[in-house]
Chains A and B, each alone.
Chain A
């Protein structure tokens, strides 16, 4: 079974400050980990992924995420937040043991960046 948890319903940060959106996961095999962003009335957009290799993954719009196997975490980060980053962020996982490409999503974290 594969599952993912996003412990924060909402994260508030001031523009220009660093941001972190937390995600932890559970899989039986190796994890494939993803972050997606959802803007109002828009579809989910892929941000970045970890499959293998370097634990620090860089993605779109200046976002990055760090895979930590011992803590089973994949937190999303950005050094300097923009107001336009305000959106709903979803972490997702796929167990490498699953033959299909089905992702399990977390409940989402709303990021609010204030000017």
Chain B
């Protein structure tokens, strides 16, 4: 499809396990963003890629969280030693990088840590 694609749509895991969430942005979009949305709250910025490099990772909560975008397209958000507090919807967005703020969001990956 033409939109931002995120997989899996739902992930249930046990505390302490490792999780990978994938984002496939709109073709040609150079900028890619990860946000986290907890229940009843607005999206919270995690990390921003311009091309292959992380331009700003100031929103990552701790060193258990890591994201890559090796070829400047698909990105993977990796969470080590998951905790119950990591349960949230993880949103990915992409943009051309030239138009301020007009981000195109995927439907999110809902992570539940038991």
Q: Contact residues of A with B, CB < 8 Å?
A: 6, 32, 34, 36, 41-46, 49, 51, 90, 92, 94, 99-108
Contact = CB atoms under 8 A, between A and B. Distances in A.
B17 to A, nearest CB: 25
Contacts of B41: 107-108
15 contacts: A32-B100, A41-B107, A42-B107, A43-B108, A44-B103, A44-B105, A46-B102, A49-B101, A49-B102, A100-B55, A100-B56, A101-B95, A103-B45, A107-B42, A108-B40
A32 B101 contact: yes
Interface in B21-50: 31, 33, 35, 40-45, 48, 50
Contacts of A99: 55
A92 B108 CA distance: 18
Nearest to A109: B42
B104 interface: yes
Given A102-B56, A107-B42, A108-B42, A46 B91 contact: no
Interface of B: 3-4, 31, 33, 35, 40-45, 48, 50, 55-56, 59, 91, 93, 95, 97, 100-108
Contacts of A45: 105
Given A32-B100, A105-B35, 10 more contacts: A43-B106, A43-B108, A44-B105, A46-B102, A49-B101, A94-B100, A100-B55, A101-B95, A102-B33, A105-B42
A55 B100 CA distance: 17
B48 A100 contact: yes
Across chains A and B, which 6 residue pairs bring their CB atoms closest together, nearest first? Answer: A105-B42, A43-B105, A44-B105, A43-B107, A32-B100, A34-B101
Contacts of A107: 40-42
Nearest to B3: A43
B91 A43 contact: yes
A49 B104 CA distance: 14
A89 to B, nearest CB: 10
Given A44-B43, A108-B42, A101 B97 contact: yes
